[in-house]
Amino acid sequence: MKGAEILIESFRKEKVDVVFGYPGGSVLDIFDIIYKSGLRFILTRHEQGAAHAADGYARATGKTGVCIATSGPGATNLVTGIATAYMDSVPMVAITGQVPTRMIGNDAFQEADITGITRPITKHNYLVKDIDELPRILKEAFYIANTGRPGPVLVDIPKDIQNASTDNKYPDSVEMRGYKPNYEGHIQQIKKAAEMIMAAQRPVIYAGGGVIISNGSEELTKLAGKAGIPVTTTLLGLGSFPSTDDLSLGMLGMHGTKYANLAVQDTDLLIAVGARFDDRVTGKVSEFAPHAKVIHIDIDPTSIRKNVNVDIPVVGDVKKVLAELIKNIKKCDTQPWLKKIAGWKKEYPLSYGKGGLKPQFVIEKIYELTRGDAIITTEVGQNQMWAAQFYKYTRPRTFLSSGGLGTMGYGLPAAMGAQAGCPGKLVFDIAGDGSIQMNIQELTTCVLNKLPVKIIILNNGCLGMVRQWQELFYGGRYSSTILNSKGPDGEKGITFCEENKCHPYLPDFIKLAGAFGAEGVRISKDSEVIPALKKAIESDKTYIIECIVDPEENVFPMVPAGASLNEMIESMA
């Protein structure tokens, strides 16, 4: 069997049902096999789109996402998507073509050392130099990607290896010395953690994306309910605990709720579950949760004590550890603590002002119409934070966003991947007018593959989050963040007009939707939101709703970078 055939056969054995990618000279042998394989292959319009689509597919389904690109620029175009998946622990196998083995290192046409380039951003990578090694390497690649702390694995296959032949001895299992993930938490550590929890007066659970990855949301909800412990989540932990539950504090950190941040700063026991204490959560580390002892549950031992001191570490699979913890715990006396938190919730709710179409209003209406039963992807920036704050996530794998890397251009291709993996679900991409333009070419991919993604563009005519920082910390000098045609000094620019109303925004997203084969509508009033959303939801087409929102709206509360969580900015006043 040829190397290209072994690759496609490995997809069948690993139950891969969809692959995203883009062809090129160094993968033509693979694509020739794909042509007659019956494999569902989605041709994206850019390799970055393929990587993000594989990522979105993986986050929405829990399976491993797969993407393919050719050598050189094709491979390097995957890099942003691979790094995004690496930072957020997303299982992905990326296949790249490479120049023939005899030409490696000779600066051959479209040659790039992709294994060297991706070494810091992959869980593992391989350059295949021997056809006899290919079946084992492919089996290991899928195993490594979706076991332990998941992550992307890259397999670089030279053109001559794709054409070489060998017996396909695809292994049934993997045995790798030095790689043996520990799923079972140490029982004595779990019992110590249970005792510390029951002794606490003001406990808080801090849940991260690891809860969702391990499918531990049900156990988390049981633990919180049984012990009476409030739960705050990271951005990637949204959906791990129902935000409609009375014990939910919403998100913490830079743009978290005020009551979540106050609770963390006042807690005497922080129970970190599948979270890594990143700087957007902790703010000033030395002043983070200053009165708290810390229990940290994580499958990755290198995450323990990486950023904060920990009193009781428990290394293991979150779902398994939480199940054991539930057995060892009783209801805690947290009523005074919960009463104090209820007071904060009443005093400091998330809110926004009046005047113009507000982005928060649009997101609230999406939730009202979908009742939380949609998959929401986001781009990065203000749109991402409003989507995190104002949509209520009640199920895992319903909020997909680039957390660690903060990748603009993530949302649309990720929505495409999620829709391909979950064809019966309603999928929204909540975008800004800046971020959507980074991978807007994937509209065509959605249309041609009948993926009815709904794209909400919150158009404020600027790079909103950067402009917000310039407004708060750089004296309002909007250097290169204004996207509308008037420019930063308000000079007259190019406009487009419709129904006697002229817009200074470029491009015309509705004409762009039409050019790509999608449908779209532009709105600018509160009264237009629900009719537009209903029309988009009822449509079986890829659909854009461009919302002309208040350009001055900012995301609050906000903890400035490097400040402590109780130094929140709550408005411009």
Which of 404, 431, 403 is closest to 415 using CA atoms?
431
Q: Measure the CA–CA gap between 272 and 318, rounded to whole angstroms.
A: 10
Q: Which residues contact 416 (CB under 8 A, 6 or more apart)?
A: 42, 44, 49, 53, 56, 442, 445, 446, 449, 451, 453
* Tokens 């991706």, located at residue: 118
Q: Which token pair is 80?
A: 């942003």
Q: Check: CB of residue 353 under 8 Å from CB of residue 549.
A: no
Which of 349, 387, 366 is closest to 465 using CA atoms?
387
- Give the predicted TM-score (pTM) of the model: 0.97
What sections of 391-463 are H helices per DSSP? 411-421, 442-448
- Predicted local distance difference test score (pLDDT) of residue 259: 98
Q: Check: CB of residue 80 under 8 Å from CB of residue 42.
A: no
- Predicted local distance difference test score (pLDDT) of residue 500: 65
What sections of 14-95 are H helices per DSSP? 28-35, 47-61, 73-77, 79-87
What are residue 252's phi and psi, to 5 degrees? -110, 175
What are residue 533's phi and psi, to 5 degrees? -65, -45
Which of 291, 236, 235, 239 is closest to 262 using CA atoms?
291
Which of 250, 6, 246, 36 is closest to 136 using CA atoms?
6
* Residue range 78-96, pLDDT digits in tens: 999 999 999 999 999 999 9
Q: Residue 490: exposed, middle, or buried by beta-carbon count in 10 A (0-12, 13-18, 19+)?
A: exposed
Q: Which token pair is 438?
A: 């980074």
Residue 112 per-residue DSSP state: -
Give the residues of the chain that fall short of pLDDT 70. Answer: 486-495, 499-500, 573
Strand 399-400: give its sheet, edge to edge. 399-400, 374-378, 426-432, 454-459, 543-548, 519-523
Which of 463, 323, 263 is closest to 383 using CA atoms?
463
DSSP string for 197-216: HHH-SSEEEEE-HHHHHTT-
Q: Check: CB of residue 93 under 8 Å from CB of residue 64.
A: yes
Please, what is the end-to-end C-alpha distance for the chain in angstroms?
70
- CA 235 from chain centre, in angstroms, equals 9
Residue 469, CA atoms < 13 Å, CB-side half-sphere:
13
Q: Measure the CA–CA gap between 132 and 269, rounded to whole angstroms.
A: 53
Q: Check: CB of residue 547 under 8 Å from CB of residue 523.
A: yes
Q: Residue 330: exposed, middle, or buried by beta-carbon count in 10 A (0-12, 13-18, 19+)?
A: exposed
Q: Which residues contact 559 (CB under 8 A, 6 or more apart)?
A: 253, 254, 255, 256, 261, 283, 565, 567, 568, 569
Q: Which token pair is 450?
A: 């009948």
Identity of the residue numbered 323: A
* Residue range 109-150, pLDDT digits in tens: 999 999 999 999 999 999 999 999 999 999 999 999 999 999
Q: Which token pair is 89?
A: 């622990």
Element (H, E) at 426: strand 426-432
What sections of 14-46 are H helices per DSSP? 28-35
Strand partners, 93: 66, 153
> What percent of the chain is helix, strand and coil (3-state, nearest 5)?
40, 15, 45
What sections of 146-283 are H helices per DSSP? 159-163, 187-199, 209-213, 217-227, 258-266, 279-282
Residues involved in catalysis: 47, 109-110, 159, 465
Q: Check: CB of residue 252 under 8 Å from CB of residue 385.
A: no
- Predicted local distance difference test score (pLDDT) of residue 493: 63
What are residue 341's phi and psi, to 5 degrees? -65, -40
Q: Check: CB of residue 554 under 8 Å from CB of residue 471.
A: yes
Q: Is 392 helix (H, G, I), strand (E, B) or coil?
A: coil
Residue 473, CA atoms < 13 Å, CB-side half-sphere:
10
Strand partners, 315: 298
Q: Residue 225: exposed, middle, or buried by beta-carbon count in 10 A (0-12, 13-18, 19+)?
A: middle
- CA 249 from chain centre, in angstroms, equals 21
